[in-house]
Chain A
């Protein structure tokens, strides 16, 4: 297995544009997490899914952020419209039950 796969690795976009980040979890894992990492706030949990169902989205900062998991092998995090303060590294992670969470390589988002 290639691990958790995120795309794109880097994204530069203009303020106001829609941004979509993608994640493919490890096959067989049933929990998926979206984290945002910044110098100021560290690793913040945005949302997590269990068996494709969103369990806790209390970390989603605003209505501009939305996440979906249409099936067990794919999830998206969308920001619409994007703002400069959304610039961060976004990590997707997956795990099997209450075991180790494996992180993807991350997407470095820059909103100018």
Chain B
């Protein structure tokens, strides 16, 4: 089955700086790569996703890049704000809709 690895496990950044989280996947048939944000005590919520026919996608301060050849994808958050502090999960799935999640990255934005 799919194996998704995520790095780093924790990330502390100064407010206004950028944060980058990287994930690799094992199943070359995976074609859907969402990112979820989970605030403390809350449910995971989708913040951005990308499909295999696209190399990059941007939504305001958040961007995701995908390298299918290398089987890795990354989340970029620019101009970080305190409300960006949360756990971020990457995930991958193929046409069977089965989402496999990475272990998560705890992001702390220092004011």
Binding site for B on A (CB under 8 A): 31, 33, 35, 42-43, 45, 48, 50, 55-56, 58, 91, 95, 97-98, 100-106
Contact = CB atoms under 8 A, between A and B. Distances in A.
B89 interface: yes
Contacts of A98: 32, 93, 95, 97
Nearest to B96: A55
Nearest to A3: B43
Nearest to B49: A100
Interface residues of B, number: 20
Interface of B: 1, 32, 34, 43-46, 49, 89, 93, 95-104
A56 B100 CA distance: 12
Contacts of A43: 44, 89, 101, 104
Nearest to A33: B99
Secondary structure dominating the interface of B: loop
Q: Which 6 A-B pairs have the closest CB atoms?
A: A103-B43, A43-B101, A42-B103, A100-B46, A31-B97, A103-B44
Nearest to A30: B97
A103 B34 CA distance: 13
B97 A42 contact: no
B99 A45 contact: yes
Contacts of A97: 97
Nearest to B89: A43
